[in-house]
Amino acid sequence: MLSKKVLLIAAVVLVALLLGYQYTVQQNLAGPIRLMPDDAAVVAQGQEVYVAECATCHGAQLQGQLNWQQRLPNGRLPAPPHDETGHTWHHDDASLFNVTKYGPQFVAGPDYQSDMPAYEGKLTDAEIIAVLSYIKSEWPAEARATHDEINRRAVPQ
Ligand code: HEC
């Protein structure tokens, strides 16, 4: 019957369209992670996220916790500064994003004990990019330039 055939073709086309759409969305999400320290709106949103989610440990001035390089009695590390005295700016955009989203276990392995939370499910990808963009916007020009260079080497253009 013709109408059944038409329906079948329509269904096949619909499924193909949906799959194609999903593929495009996944492609977009899988794109390279880029911080936006020069985008005032993103930085302002990031500062709000920082104050709400990060400042208790990493410090209101991004200064980190006292003696952050010495392990605590429980073997864990204190929160490092996010200003230029820390090593946040030594890591490329994607590494910072992954540590924030999935926790330090992303680089140190699943058994690594840390007070740094994983923000997957608590912050959206856009919020994570915003908060890291805010952090980068606070670095002096020299650290920002070095970080741009680290990104150029880390991410194939
Ligand atoms: C409960 C305390 C706590 C909170 C809240 C917290 N962190 Fe952390 N963070 C840590 C600790 C502790 C470390 C050190 C990780 C380790 O054990 O190696 C760390 C490490 C990091 C690092 C790696 C820095 C580096 O130089 O390697 C990044 C990036 C980071 N935090 C981002 C964030 C962001 C962004 C937020 C807020 C959205 C946040 N953290 C909230 C405790 C915290």
pLDDT recorded at residue 57: 98
For ligand 1, pick from 58, 66, 124, 132 the residue to mutate: most ligand atoms within 8 Å of CB.
Answer: 58
- What's the number of CA atoms in the CB half-sphere (13 Å) around residue 151? 19
List per-residue pLDDT tens for the chain, 157 residues long.
668 887 777 777 766 666 555 444 433 445 689 999 999 999 999 999 999 999 999 999 999 999 999 999 999 999 999 999 999 999 999 999 999 999 999 999 999 999 999 999 999 999 999 999 999 999 999 999 999 999 999 866 4
pLDDT at residue 32 in the model: 84
pLDDT score at 24: 42
Q: Which amino acid is at 99?
A: V
Measured from CB, residues less than 6 Å from any atom of ligand 1 are 53-54, 56-58, 76-80, 86-88, 91, 96, 99-100, 104, 114-117, 119, 131
pTM of the predicted protein model: 0.84
Residue 21 pLDDT: 52
Domain ranges for the chain, please list them: 1-31, 33-154
Q: How far is the CA of 132 from the centre of ligand 1 (A)?
A: 11
For residue 123, which atom of ligand 1 is closest to its CA? 38
CA 30 / ligand 1 centre spacing (Å) = 23
Query: Domain spanning 33-154: which CATH class is it, in words?
Result: mainly alpha
Contact by Cβ (8 Å): 70, 80: no
